[in-house]
């Protein structure tokens, strides 16, 4: 519900939060974890402007266990966010106490926002699924189940890393179509995928499905997610069971979890194109149809070693996804699967309908056949060593303050010696 925390007139005594370009005004207040040194323990924080508010030092929480906080449910999260909002406003009586609990974001390490137990990657971006399908199956790009089932697969949680992490170019088996046999080598077709991540807060018991009407109450919030992909490894290994080494080497997420409360002003209807089949009853509800989607603008930026500043490659919007977050939760649990606090969903690559809105280089370069020409004259068919990919997202609507997610960045290093 829209409440006092969404008032666009609210200003903070943390002056950097009042900058219209800030991702973290007082109307946002996302959760994350930080530490002041490598030896220090992780602490739960909240982003405000260019600062981090230590929530325990501000006497807003009693624990430094983010997963325990996530399991406490949406009412507890809303109460913390409301108390933080009131204490961070100009003229707040809590200013002196809160000011002593602030740290500059530039002076702390931002890590994974919680302990991630399980990771499921969905395929909810229909424009991505169609574009990739056309590369592989020109006459039948979408498989028959796509418009009926929120397709997903179980990924690797241990290799999920926070924004800013650098990783080596992965190796895997590669076999071009005309080669007599595969060989082991570093990927030559390294790609990114623009996704949103969904963190689960409260879980469900084994055997108990979450109905769609209750699905969003199990969601703690959203992050940006880059599902790095080795396309040549993927092409050889993905049948019959899907990607394996092509994706489990690294997945990057942004450090701040943007809550459903912060996103409330940016809800949108969930609409299927005319002629498409309606969702099955367990994936449908009046509320999901009227307000189940979120209007979140998404961008990919690339900085090569020769660039002075990053260049934007594309824009898309989460509204173009084919399935809502509530539908992903309902489908994941309909068979009795038990979700737990800290579980992470990937949305799947969110591309737009236009050719220049591809959420991966595979789409933007037509499978590498049409390399991108960058602003400094370089070209890219796929990512090269030293390249940094930055995902960004923000929400804006007349009558409300713009909020953002912060950067989700990762840098490709050369492959390690075998």
Catalytic residues: 128
In 88-170 the beta strands, taken as DSSP E runs, fall at 102-104, 109-110, 119-122, 152-154, 160-162, 166-168
Query: 200, 223 in Cβ contact below 8 A?
Result: no
DSSP H or E segment with residue 245: none
Q: In whole angstroms, give the CA distance from residue 212 to residue 227.
A: 26
Q: In whole angstroms, give the CA distance from residue 22 to residue 18.
A: 7
Please enumerate in sequence order all residues whose Cβ is within 8 A of that of 11, keeping only pairs 6 or more positions apart, or say none: 17, 18, 26, 89, 90
Q: In whole angstroms, give the CA distance from residue 326 to residue 332.
A: 10
Q: In whole angstroms, give the CA distance from residue 81 to residue 303.
A: 35
To 5 degrees, how large is the angle CA 386–CA 392–CA 396? 165
DSSP H or E segment with residue 404: strand 403-404
In 335-357, which positions are buried (b, 16+ CB within 10 angstroms) versus exposed (e)? Answer: eebebebbbbbbbbbbbbeeeeb
Q: In whole angstroms, give the CA distance from residue 79 to residue 90.
A: 19
- The strand pairing partners of 152, in sequence order, are 122
In 64-82, which positions are buried (b, 16+ CB within 10 angstroms) versus exposed (e)? Answer: eebbebbbbebeebbebbe
Q: Cis peptide leading into 240, omega within 30 of 0?
A: yes
Please enumerate in sequence order all residues whose Cβ is within 8 A of that of 246, keeping only pairs 6 or more positions apart, or say none: 172, 187, 229, 230, 231, 233, 234, 237, 238
Query: 23, 10 in Cβ contact below 8 A?
Result: no
| Max CA separation in the chain (angstroms) | 74
């Amino acid at each position: 519900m829209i409440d006092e925390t969404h008032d666009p007139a609210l200003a903070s005594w943390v002056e950097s939060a009042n900058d219209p370009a800030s991702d973290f005004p007082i109307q946002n207040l996302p959760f994350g974890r930080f530490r002041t040194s490598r030896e220090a323990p992780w602490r739960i924080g909240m982003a405000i402007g260019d600062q981090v508010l230590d929530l325990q030092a501000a006497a807003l929480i009693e624990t430094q266990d983010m997963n325990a906080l996530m399991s406490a449910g949406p009412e507890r999260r809303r109460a913390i966010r409301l108390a933080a909002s009131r204490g961070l406003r100009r003229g707040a009586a809590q200013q002196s106490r809160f000011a002593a609990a602030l740290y500059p974001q530039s002076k702390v390490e931002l890590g994974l926002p919680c302990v991630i137990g399980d990771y499921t990657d969905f395929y909810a971006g229909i424009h991505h699924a169609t574009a990739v399908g056309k590369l592989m199956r020109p006459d039948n790009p979408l498989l028959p189940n796509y418009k009926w089932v929120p397709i997903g697969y179980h990924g690797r949680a241990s290799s999920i890393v926070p924004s800013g992490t650098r990783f080596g170019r992965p190796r895997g088996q590669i076999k071009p179509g005309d080669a007599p046999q595969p060989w082991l080598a570093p990927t030559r077709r390294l790609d990114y995928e623009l996704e949103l991540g969904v963190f689960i807060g409260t879980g469900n018991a084994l055997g108990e499905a979450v109905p769609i009407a209750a699905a969003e109450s199990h969601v703690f919030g959203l992050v940006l997610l880059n599902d790095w992909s080795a396309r040549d490894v993927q092409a050889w290994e993905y049948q019959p069971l899907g990607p394996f080494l092509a994706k489990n080497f690294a997945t990057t997420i942004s450090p701040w979890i943007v809550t459903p409360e912060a996103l409330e002003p940016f809800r949108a209807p969930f609409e299927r194109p005319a002629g498409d089949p309606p969702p099955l009853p367990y994936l449908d509800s009046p509320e999901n149809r009227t307000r189940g989607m979120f209007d979140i603008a998404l961008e990919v930026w690339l900085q090569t070693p020769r660039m002075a500043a990053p260049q934007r490659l594309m824009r898309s919007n989460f509204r173009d996804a084919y399935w809502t977050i509530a539908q992903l939760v309902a489908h994941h649990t309909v068979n009795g699967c038990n979700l737990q606090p800290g579980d992470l969903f990937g949305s799947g690559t969110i591309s737009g309908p236009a050719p220049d809105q591809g959420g991966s280089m595979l789409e933007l370069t037509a499978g590498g056949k049409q390399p991108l020409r960058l602003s400094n004259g370089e070209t890219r068919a796929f990512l090269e060593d030293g390249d940094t990919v930055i995902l960004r997202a923000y929400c804006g609507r007349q009558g409300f303050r713009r909020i953002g997610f912060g950067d989700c960045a990762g840098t490709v290093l050369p492959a390690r010696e075998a």
